[in-house]
Structure 1
Amino acid sequence: MTPRVPRPTSPEDALPDSILLPSGPFPVTWRRSARARRLSLRLSRAGDSIIVTLPPRVPPQTGLSLLNAHHDWIVRQLQQRPAAICFTSSSLIPVNGVPHTVRHTPEERGGVWIDADHTLHVSGDADFLARRVRDFLQTLAYKHLGQRLLELSGRTGLAPRTFAMRDAVSRWGSCSTAGRIMLNWRLIMAPSFVQDYVILHELAHLKHHNHSAHFWALVDQMCLTRNEAELWLKNHGPALMRAA
């Protein structure tokens, strides 16, 4: 029997996966990026971890020093996080940017539905309420965003080869070099002008698979509300990303 040779360890293997804060340990994600030009530290879009990005030649210890030096900054960032959207009875959940009140109606039948008064009814056992709301929103997102993608594709002349929904906590959408566009189902909670911006952003990648000046010029040409949409995502996106 050939003895198993252990995988060589690297300095990055010794980096901690959390930082100790007054509220307890908080996750840390380490990323080595060949495209990064400088060492950076940021809170993830979902607000559930600190991301430290290391350029190719920066030693891990330098990243650890940066993390420890910004302990107070991390605490402030977490304190400023918007409250997560909760899928519970009586909570407010935006659908296409419009607040809807969740109403648990265990005696009813029909799963989940929305009435004319912007009430989101959920039947069945209370233990499954959050899951049913989430499933309903994901199904609605696939139908609504898929239809909007089709409409905007026809308007711009840029059509993806395939379309899929994603359950992501860091990206609103993506476009592969093979022409596959994926959208985050949580966009169903955003206003329509934000949804359109994300869709048009990904459609522009069908022509420019980068973030060059030509790419942004195309986005600006197709989406006149780009600045407003980006500001909305900056201010309200983290709460959507944390929705559960």
Structure 2
Amino acid sequence: MNPNPQPASDYASRAREETLRRDQLNQSLKLLRRVREAALAGDPIPPVEELMAMTGLLPTATDDPLTAVESLIEAATAEREASNRRIKLAKALSDASRGRPAATSAPAAAAPSPSSPQPVARSNVEGSPLVDEADRLAKISARDLDSLPYGAILLDESGRILSYNDTESRMARLPIEAVLGRNFFTEVAPCTRVKEFEGRFRALASGQGLPVVSFDFVFPFPFGAQRVAVLLTRGANPGTVIMALLRR
């Protein structure tokens, strides 16, 4: 167990820094679009090196000046989208580390009643606030799972729980000792025995699916439904899968 989880202020600082970066990218996009409009009107295009220095971006194509400008616009747009995801993640983690549900801009899913046999599962890879955590999760050790401000479960390929962090234990109201060694799908959360959840896990665990899978799922707990952003990725050790769960 890590006695010093990252404080909320660190995540808030990360969000502020990323917001400044996004603002810079917006300015770069405005500049590049003006250059493109001027070029289409017949004005000369500044040297590509000058545009690179002004924006801090690298073009993927330099066949001709206009193509290079288009390439820089694409790079700035992609980086801005990634920056938006990082801002969303930092804010969500800041909320989670304070013990509050993550406030995200994703559309709300219809929450079933606790007795509903069909929990909601929605694929939302790009919109998930956990997507940018995938690399970190793929390298994290079992003993460091408690340092995470969101739920995290280490599973073997069959779905047996190898490690279960404090945050998930608290959010799901399940004692850690009651779930260790049990199968997540058949014994702990049978509501996940649907293709949208267990099916994705099986595909990833077998190596046939994508290395990272993210989606929203509504768990019908006895104490009330919880909408959760779920991310699955292969663990640091062969034959393991990390499941991250961030309450919406």
Shorter-chain-normalised TM-score: which range? Answer: under 0.3
Bigger proportion of residues as strand:
1
Give TM-score, length-normalised by structure 1.
0.23
Question: Using CA pairs below 8 Å that are at least 6 residues apart, which structure has the higher relative contact order?
Answer: 2
Bigger proportion of residues as helix:
2
Give TM-score, length-normalised by structure 2.
0.23
